[in-house]
Amino acid sequence: MPKDSDKQRKDSPNLEPDQVDSSPEALAARGASILQTLASVSPVGILRTDVKRRCIFVNKKWCEMSGLTSDQSSGLGWLRAFHPDDRHRIFQEWEEAVRENRPYRSEYRFRRPDGTEIWIQGQAVAEHDEQGNLIGHIGTTTDITEQRGLQQQSLQAQKMEAVGQLAGGIAHEFNNLLTVITGYSKVLLESMSPNHPALRKMEAISRAAGQAAELTSQLLTFGNNQSREPEVFNLRSVLNGLNTMLRSIAGESITLEMRIADDLRNIEFDPGEIEHLVINLVTHASNAMPAGGTLTVEASNMVLDETQDESGSLKAGTYVVLVITDTGQGMSPEAMKHIFEPFSKHGGGDHGGGMRLAVAHEIVRQGGGRISAKSTADEGSTFSVYLPSVDKHVNATIVSANRGARTIDARILVVEDNDALREMVIEILESTGCQVVAAESPVVALQKLTVEVPDLIVTDVIMPVMNGPEMIDEMFKMREELRVLFMSGYTSDALEGRTSIRSQDILKKPFTPNELLTRVQKALND
């Protein structure tokens, strides 16, 4: 009975060494066949040219990448695959590699006949004959479109973070100046009679300071440095309260339609930020309709499951959806790619448009929601804002008393490194009868605490050498019972992880004298 090995040798004559054609021609033919097979299944594109850059071979993958057939790629036809804007650079780099006798490597774009574009990483080496003469080049192409997209997203995120940090730093310093301007303008206005000759000018200064404060708040929001004070409220009350302002923003040539569901659920955000959000989106929509049109503001409830959110950025749950639609100029696909970038030229018809939409995007993102935009050139735009709803009751509104009627009998330690702001806070507090002790730094404040214990410490957050929370930590080691009110335009990392500091312990800059005294009274009564 023949063995299995004997049978295998009979069925597979190619395994018999004495039956294999080992002539140079046969070996070359087999080698060429193997290379042809490898090229046909290669995951990268392969191209071969002669010394005059004429294509003599492309594999299947190269044709898939370029969108050209093998026949279309032959000769100089393969050059049509390169994006017109990249061709000159590619040829320059190619010639340099040939001249310096080194491998060619570069990244560029293919533009297919149907107009689609992909990013390519191309590599090529020179091919020589047996005498060392250059006879052409052989190269590979790899589709790196997805990789480039991830790199661009990473770079964009880094850029946004850097811009945000810069904006936050500038806004923090500007807030100190604005607090002084706002505070003293309010003090002067309250002291002026209705017939005072400088009253209108003082009111103009106060309004300008308020507008500057709004811009600063937007910069801080974009930089993720805004000190937020979330509370439970209903979007319907905000939209109704803004009705008159929104109609003023839209102007007479634009018809504003408000469609708000009666059963709108509550949300938990900073009400001021939501007002900014609505105003920014309505302003953007109005600017897109210089010749007039219709602007629709809608608000309704929506139950969203995981399959309904194409972006994957929202959790399943119940949302309040704010939709703002205009019949204006619309935006091109290219403009839509940059719609939420700060200072983008595509953000609206005025210089603040890009920042406006970037701030709107940041407000929603920080609150766990999502904002999306749809637009077609000459057909208008629609912005949809998804705000997570909450099963909580609306917070009661605290109405502050007038500053002039207050009397505060307390010893207060004020710690602020900005001289002008420190003096203003002292003046406002002393006007109510407070005993005020001032310190220009945490070191000085710690020294004063050893002499006398105040009823309340009013302190800045960001200061040189030692910040406000670090100072308070040291003070708690000296005295267990201390009331503290922080003054800050943003919380930053200095407040993170400190359980002793609550959001209600922070007075946002810039603040008015009335706001300062309201928060001081509240802190003293806690």
Residue 374 is predicted with a pLDDT of: 92
Q: Which residue has better confidence, 319 or 31?
A: 319
Strand pairing class (134-143; 254-260): unpaired
CB of 32 closer than 8 Å to CB of 52: no
Taking the C-alpha atoms of residue 387 and residue 268, their distance in angstroms, rounded to an integer, is 9
pLDDT class of 328 with cuts at 50, 70, 90: very high
For the chain, the average pLDDT equals 81
Q: Which CATH number fits domain 149-222: 3.90.870.20, 1.10.490.10, 1.10.287.130, 3.40.50.2000?
A: 1.10.287.130
pLDDT at 13 exceeding the cut of 50 = no
Q: How far is CA 39 from CA 34, 58, 65, 139, in A?
A: 9, 9, 14, 12
Consecutive H or E run containing 390? strand 380-390
Backbone torsions φ then ψ of 498, nearest 5 degrees: -105, 100
CB of 508 closer than 8 Å to CB of 229: yes
* Helix, strand, coil distribution of the chain in percent, nearest 5: 45, 25, 30
Taking the C-alpha atoms of residue 138 and residue 130, their distance in angstroms, rounded to an integer, is 16
Q: For 376-386, what is the mean pLDDT?
A: 91
pLDDT at 407 exceeding the cut of 70 = yes
pTM (two decimals): 0.45
Please report where in the chains the tokens 């005498």 appear, as a residue. Answer: 131
232-390 — its CATH code?
3.30.565.10
Q: Which residue has better confidence, 366 or 296?
A: 296
pLDDT at 115 exceeding the cut of 80 = yes
Residue 380 is predicted with a pLDDT of: 92
Q: Which two tokens stand for residue 299?
A: 């608000």
pLDDT at 15 exceeding the cut of 50 = no
Taking the C-alpha atoms of residue 94 and residue 88, their distance in angstroms, rounded to an integer, is 10
Taking the C-alpha atoms of residue 327 and residue 250, their distance in angstroms, rounded to an integer, is 13
Taking the C-alpha atoms of residue 337 and residue 416, their distance in angstroms, rounded to an integer, is 44
pLDDT at 474 exceeding the cut of 80 = yes
Residue 166 is predicted with a pLDDT of: 66
State pLDDT tens for residues 422-454: 999 998 999 888 899 999 999 999 999 999 899
pLDDT at 29 exceeding the cut of 90 = no
pLDDT class of 388 with cuts at 50, 70, 90: very high
Q: How far is CA 144 from its chain centroid?
A: 25
Q: Which two tokens stand for residue 215?
A: 């811009």
Q: Which residues of 33-68 are buried (b: 16+ CB within 10 A; e: fewer)?
A: eeeeeebeeeebbbbbbeeeeebebbbebbbebbbb
Judged by average pLDDT, the poorest of 130-134, 223-227, 435-439, 485-489 is 223-227
Taking the C-alpha atoms of residue 470 and residue 189, their distance in angstroms, rounded to an integer, is 37
Taking the CA atoms of residue 468, residue 472, residue 473 and residue 474 in that order, the dihedral angle to the nearest 10 degrees is: 110
**Closest by Cα among 209, 283, 205 to 247:** 283
Q: Which two tokens stand for residue 452?
A: 């006398």
CB of 357 closer than 8 Å to CB of 345: no
Judged by average pLDDT, the poorest of 135-139, 285-289, 343-347, 396-400 is 396-400
For residue 82, list its beta bridge partners: 110
19-143 — its CATH code?
3.30.450.20
Q: How far is CA 70 from its chain centroid?
A: 45
pLDDT class of 354 with cuts at 50, 70, 90: low
Please report where in the chains the tokens 């659920």 appear, as a residue. Answer: 265
**Closest by Cα among 271, 219, 303, 261 to 509:** 219
**Closest by Cα among 311, 339, 320, 324 to 386:** 320
Q: Measured between alpha carbons, how far apart are the two ends of the chain, in Å? A: 103
**Closest by Cα among 118, 116, 134 to 126:** 134
Q: Which residues, at least 6 apart from 41, have a Cβ–Cβ distance to it below 8 Å?
A: none
Half-sphere exposure of 135 (CA within 13 A, CB side): 8
pLDDT class of 169 with cuts at 50, 70, 90: low
pLDDT at 348 exceeding the cut of 80 = no
State pLDDT tens for residues 477-510: 998 788 999 998 765 444 555 545 665 588 888 8
pLDDT at 145 exceeding the cut of 80 = yes
Taking the C-alpha atoms of residue 374 and residue 464, their distance in angstroms, rounded to an integer, is 46
| Domain residue extents for the chain | 19-143, 149-222, 232-390, 403-525
Taking the C-alpha atoms of residue 484 and residue 480, their distance in angstroms, rounded to an integer, is 12
3-class secondary structure for 150-197?
HHHHHHHHHHHHHHHHHHHHHHHHHHHHHHHHHHHHHHHHHHCCCCCC
pLDDT at 1 exceeding the cut of 50 = no
Q: For 247-276, what is the mean pLDDT?
A: 89
Please report where in the chains the tokens 């595509």 appear, as a residue. Answer: 346
- Percent of the chain residues topping a pLDDT of 70: 77
Q: For 7-36, what is the mean pLDDT?
A: 55
Taking the CA atoms of residue 182, residue 186, residue 187 and residue 193 in that order, the dihedral angle to the nearest 10 degrees is: 150
Q: Which residue has better confidence, 346 or 375?
A: 375
pLDDT class of 27 with cuts at 50, 70, 90: low
Q: For 292-299, what is the mean pLDDT?
A: 95
Q: For 102-130, what is the mean pLDDT?
A: 91
Judged by average pLDDT, the poorest of 253-257, 312-316, 429-433 is 312-316
Q: Which residue has better confidence, 506 or 259?
A: 259
Taking the C-alpha atoms of residue 173 and residue 188, their distance in angstroms, rounded to an integer, is 24
Fold of 403-525: Rossmann fold (3.40.50)
pLDDT at 346 exceeding the cut of 80 = no
Q: For 451-460, what is the mean pLDDT?
A: 92
Residue 437 is predicted with a pLDDT of: 94
- Percent of the chain residues topping a pLDDT of 90: 34
